[in-house]
């Protein structure tokens, strides 16, 4: 591998010296390549943005007026002394891994990813590379997801039982990606109401051609009385709030990979938690890394130290990169929005 690496790690983000750009920078830069629209990866303040065509509409909605260029999956673009391409990450609609190639040497930045197809996001596609920069949000052996169909069936049965008891079901999920995945995956029991933050994203994705069931924006006069037995999809910040209490008798639950940890579920004071993650579990991380054929792995945001040790034991040249990525941040205003 060349002495001068294709990508370097700075206090502003992952930088490509030969291309003069950053990937998912967390501080303002002149040119930013963005893996997906979640707020910890797509931040305001950059001079120019490059992202997939599918990611840009939500990014513009969230960031406002930005100078941005779209790129298709698999399209190759020359920037300075390197060639870049974007490949499906399976995380949320429009999400991508970014490959950077220089004179035959390929580095891939994963962003966030999951390997199980969900029927909504573009399915993860491994990219052969020499170095792979991988998230490891759930990089411990304890994190092993059940098949999606099983969990969606469990959520559907929970909703049906609540409806039969005369209650509304309020399900907390991040407004971009997780909420739409749940909408597309649960069975049809009754009407589906959505928090304003979720419905705005629904509208954007529908315009792009993503298939979502019919939903009704919750507002004045749209509640548990007007729509008995409804399922309400809302950001996690809305759970237990005055906004949620207006639906009358209800059961609340949260959909997240962290629901696999009983202590976290208790701290959130939730009786019901569904283990649904838009990130790869431990076996998924390993299978994705193996599929790249890489020799070198850098791990970011998650259980970095134990996951790096495990990779080193498997023979990889593994290192840790400090970043400012983490859980998707919901705007505080979403909890009180109608």
Question: Domain coordinates of the chain in residue numbers?
Answer: 8-142+278-336, 148-274
Is 295 a residue whose pLDDT tops 90? yes
Nearest to 91 by CA among 204, 189, 219, 177: 177
Question: What is the per-residue pLDDT for 227?
Answer: 94
CB burial class (10 A; 0-12, 13-18, 19+) of residue 220?
A: exposed
Cα angle at 108 between 70 and 133, to 5 degrees? Answer: 120
Is 75 a residue whose pLDDT tops 60? yes
Question: What is the per-residue pLDDT for 263?
Answer: 57
Q: Which residue has the higher pLDDT, 332 or 167?
A: 167
d(CA 151, CA 161): 15
CB burial class (10 A; 0-12, 13-18, 19+) of residue 297?
A: buried
Is 270 a residue whose pLDDT tops 90? no
Q: What is the mean pLDDT of residues 194-199?
A: 97
Q: What is the pLDDT of residues 299-308, one digit of tens each?
A: 999 999 999 9
Question: What is the per-residue pLDDT for 144?
Answer: 97
pTM of the model: 0.93
Question: What is the per-residue pLDDT for 260?
Answer: 87
Is 89 a residue whose pLDDT tops 50? yes
Burial 152-186 (b: 16+ CB within 10 A, else e): bebbbebbbebbeeebbbbbbbbbbbbbbbbbbbb
Query: What is the pLDDT confidence band of residue 266, given thresholds at 50, 70 and 90?
Result: low
Q: What is the mean pLDDT of residues 319-328?
A: 84
Cα angle at 260 between 213 and 263, to 5 degrees? Answer: 125
Is 2 a residue whose pLDDT tops 70? no
Q: What is the mean pLDDT of residues 142-155?
A: 96
Q: What is the pLDDT of residues 203-214, one digit of tens each?
A: 999 999 999 999
The CATH class that applies to domain 8-142+278-336 reads: alpha beta
Fold of 148-274: Rossmann fold (3.40.50)
Strands across the sheet containing 14-16: 8-9, 14-16, 21-23, 31-33, 48-52, 68-71
Q: What percent of the chain has pLDDT over 70?
A: 93
| DSSP-assigned states of every residue in 267-319 | HTT-SEEE---SS--HHHHHHHHHHHT-SEEEEEEESHHHHHHHHHHTT-EEE
Q: What is the mean pLDDT of residues 176-182?
A: 97
């Amino acid at each position: 591998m060349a002495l001068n690496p294709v990508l370097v790690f700075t206090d502003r983000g992952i930088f490509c010296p030969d291309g003069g750009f950053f990937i998912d920078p967390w501080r303002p830069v002149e040119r930013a390549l963005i893996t997906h629209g979640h707020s910890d990866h797509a931040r305001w303040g950059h001079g120019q943005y490059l992202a997939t065509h599918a990611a840009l509409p939500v990014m513009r909605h969230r960031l406002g007026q930005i100078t941005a260029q779209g790129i298709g999956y698999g399209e190759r673009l020359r920037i300075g002394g390197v060639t870049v391409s974007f490949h499906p990450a399976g995380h949320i609609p429009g999400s991508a891994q970014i490959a950077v190639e220089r004179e035959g040497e390929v580095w891939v930045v994963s962003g966030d990813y999951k390997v199980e197809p969900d029927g909504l996001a573009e399915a993860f596609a491994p990219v052969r590379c020499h170095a792979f920069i991988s998230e490891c949000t759930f990089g411990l052996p304890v994190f092993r997801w059940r098949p999606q169909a099983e969990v969606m069936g469990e959520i559907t049965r929970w909703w049906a039982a609540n409806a039969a008891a005369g209650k509304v079901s309020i399900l907390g999920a991040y407004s971009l990606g997780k909420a739409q995945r749940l909408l597309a995956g649960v069975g049809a029991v009754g009407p589906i109401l959505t928090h304003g933050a979720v419905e705005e994203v629904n509208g954007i994705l529908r315009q792009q051609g993503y298939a979502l069931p019919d939903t009704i924006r919750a507002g004045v006069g749209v509640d548990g009385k007007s729509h008995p037995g409804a399922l309400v999809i809302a950001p996690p910040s809305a759970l237990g709030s005055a906004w949620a209490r207006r639906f009358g008798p209800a059961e609340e639950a949260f959909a997240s990979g962290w629901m696999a940890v009983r202590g976290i579920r208790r701290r959130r004071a939730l009786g019901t938690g569904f283990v649904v993650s838009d990130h790869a579990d431990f076996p998924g991380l390993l299978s994705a890394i193996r599929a790249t054929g890489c020799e070198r792995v850098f791990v970011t945001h998650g259980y970095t130290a134990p996951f790096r040790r495990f990779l080193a034991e498997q023979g990889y040249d593994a290192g840790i990169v400090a970043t400012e990525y983490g859980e998707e941040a919901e705007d505080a205003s979403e909890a009180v929005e109608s």
